[in-house]
Amino acid sequence: MSHPLLDLNNLLRPAVGEYGLDPDDLAPGGRLHQRFAEAFGAVEARRAAGDLGFLELPHSRETSRVVAELAESFGQWFSDVIVLGIGGSGLGAIALREALLPAGWNELGDEERSYYPRLHVLDNPDPRTVDALLDRLDLRKALFVVVSKSGSTAETMAQYLVARERVARVVDDDKLRGHFLFITDPEKGALRALAETEEIPTLAVPPNVGGRFSILSPVGLFPAAICGIDIEALLDGAAAMEAACRDGDLTTNAAGALATALHAADTEGGKSIHVLMAYADRLRAFTLWFQQLWAESLGKVKGDTHVGPTPLPAVGATDQHAQVQLFMEGPRDKVVVFLAVDPPDDDVVIPDVHPDVDALSYLAGHALGELLDAERRATTEALRRGGRPSATIEVGAADAHTLGGLVMLFELATVYAGALYGVDSLDQPGVELGKRLTYGLMGRSGYEATAFPEPDERWRF
């Protein structure tokens, strides 16, 4: 059982000179230490008010027991599970699949998957993607998990209607409902009502858990469990991190230290772009999960001012050949958080095929995971020497326990950062206008079709 370890050294002045934070500000009695203590108080008040349901998720094992039972009873009947869900309703399932199942899970044979189902996530109403997947699968052995907290997300509802009609083509009427599971609000919304009318099984998203904080609710747990991921270990790791972050002293609260450092780097150091760079393909999807969490929680209008850092996902070593040139020499508007993963026990050794070729022979006898980790260390050090701050989170083998801890670390850091920025990290009012305009264009009753401005042809090329 390992825990994520956060290292902030390369964010500080001893490492990066004038571009870093002053350790004295972070130490007890320091300016930022005090600032976090206040933010912590604000978050604790929201916890006490019952707003922060995600903090309870790892502790209530009643839900995970129900999820596990349902997953087990369903799992044996289906070879493909398709999550229909967008944003927070899809990103968690993708992140867990990629991080915790063997690479290329959906391309493995039944035996290699130990007869657990493949897991697909349709997170966009793109007709080509949807059609190609539904065409390819044997829908008689497919389970659709429809995830929408509100029960009315247009993209997900459209996909559900299409999937429902496709399944109806190949199964008997009385079998149809058995191919669907709804994950939605426990009481409200169209999906809930539909489930009751049609006796479709459901799992609930607690009302005080928003979409982007729902990965440890049934939204993330069910898809994980049905593929055999150890959801108890995931919750254990999250619970341990949550328990370790229960005081307002940032020298012991890792999530608080991370939030305070990133907030100060932005608001005092102009480092408004927060890069999360994972040195492992299987954490690529996790960086997208983080992107939504950080962007949608913190990007807010506050009176007349607009605040919020821009999260930027990256993967090492790949992005050393794409984004690192910009990170090294571009504007000093970024701070990088690295995710460091241990090489696997069965690391791939590089053979000595061409001992006489200088550009190749030095690699022989090393292993790929060793090379990847050397690249991470080298990139971190090159940034440091250029006065470019970074933090590193060591996630060891990145197993379910550690990943649970990492999820909670970032979720907690998000609500702390919300308090530091002075915004409500739980709402998303900025997307309402776009939704209303879409409804109007689609002719939903009660929504006006709006006239869009005519373009000036001079500026069309």
Cα–Cα distance for residue pair 396/387, rounded to 1 Å = 27
For its own copies, the closer of residues 72 and 247 by Cβ is 247
Q: Which positions from 227 through 256 interact with its own copies, judged by CB under 8 A?
A: 251-254
**Active-site residue, 334 included:** no
**Residue 5 is a binding residue for its own copies (CB under 8 A):** yes
Cα–Cα distance for residue pair 165/163, rounded to 1 Å = 5
Give the residue among 271, 340, 285 at the shortest CA–CA distance from 313.
285
Greatest Cα-to-Cα distance within the chain, rounded to the nearest angstrom: 75
**Residue 455 is a binding residue for its own copies (CB under 8 A):** yes
Cα–Cα distance for residue pair 261/335, rounded to 1 Å = 10
Q: Which of 62, 107, 111, 321 is catalytic?
A: 321
**Residue 303 is a binding residue for its own copies (CB under 8 A):** no
Q: Which of 175, 306, 354, 435 is catalytic?
A: 435
Q: Using the rule CB under 8 A, give the single segment among 75-83, 216-224, 231-239, 355-363 that binds its own copies.
A: 355-363
- For 322, how many CA atoms within 13 A lie in the half-sphere containing its CB? 9
* Alpha-helix residue ranges (DSSP H) falling in 210-357: 218-226, 231-244, 254-267, 284-298, 324-329
Give the x/- contact pattern for its own copies in 384-403, rule: CB under 8 A: xxx-----------------
Element (H, E) at 337: strand 334-340
Cα–Cα distance for residue pair 419/36, rounded to 1 Å = 9
For its own copies, the closer of residues 199 and 346 by Cβ is 346
Q: Which positions from 367 through 386 interact with its own copies, judged by CB under 8 A?
A: 367-369, 371-372, 374-375, 377-379, 381-382, 384-386
For its own copies, the closer of residues 45 and 378 by Cβ is 378
**Residue 328 is a binding residue for its own copies (CB under 8 A):** yes
Beta strands in 59-191 (DSSP E): 80-84, 118-122, 142-147, 180-184
**Residue 452 is a binding residue for its own copies (CB under 8 A):** yes
**Residue 8 is a binding residue for its own copies (CB under 8 A):** yes
Give the residue among 277, 396, 288, 290 at the shortest CA–CA distance from 336.
277
**Active-site residue, 435 included:** yes
**Active-site residue, 296 included:** yes
Q: List, as own/partner pairs, every contact residues 157-165 make where C-beta atoms lie below 8 angstroms and the sequence separation is at least 24, other chains included.
A: 157/190, 158/125, 159/84, 159/122, 159/125, 159/130, 160/84, 162/130, 162/134, 163/82, 163/84, 163/134
**Residue 306 is a binding residue for its own copies (CB under 8 A):** yes
Give the x/- contact pattern for its own copies in 154-183, rule: CB under 8 A: xx-xxxxxx-xx------------------
* Alpha-helix residue ranges (DSSP H) falling in 299-442: 324-329, 358-361, 368-385, 400-421, 432-442
The DSSP 8-state label assigned to residue 21 in this structure reads B
Q: Which positions from 43 through 82 interact with its own copies, judged by CB under 8 A?
A: none
Q: Could you identify the residue written with the tokens 């670390």? A: 409
**Residue 18 is a binding residue for its own copies (CB under 8 A):** no
**Residue 344 is a binding residue for its own copies (CB under 8 A):** yes
Q: Which of 23, 178, 201, 396 binds its own copies (CB under 8 A)?
A: 23
Q: Which of 33, 35, 271, 334 binds its own copies (CB under 8 A)?
A: 334
Q: Using the rule CB under 8 A, give the single segment among 55-63, 231-239, 320-328, 399-407 that binds its own copies.
A: 320-328
Q: Which positions from 257 through 276 interact with its own copies, judged by CB under 8 A?
A: 257, 272-273
The residues carrying an active-site annotation are: 296, 321, 435
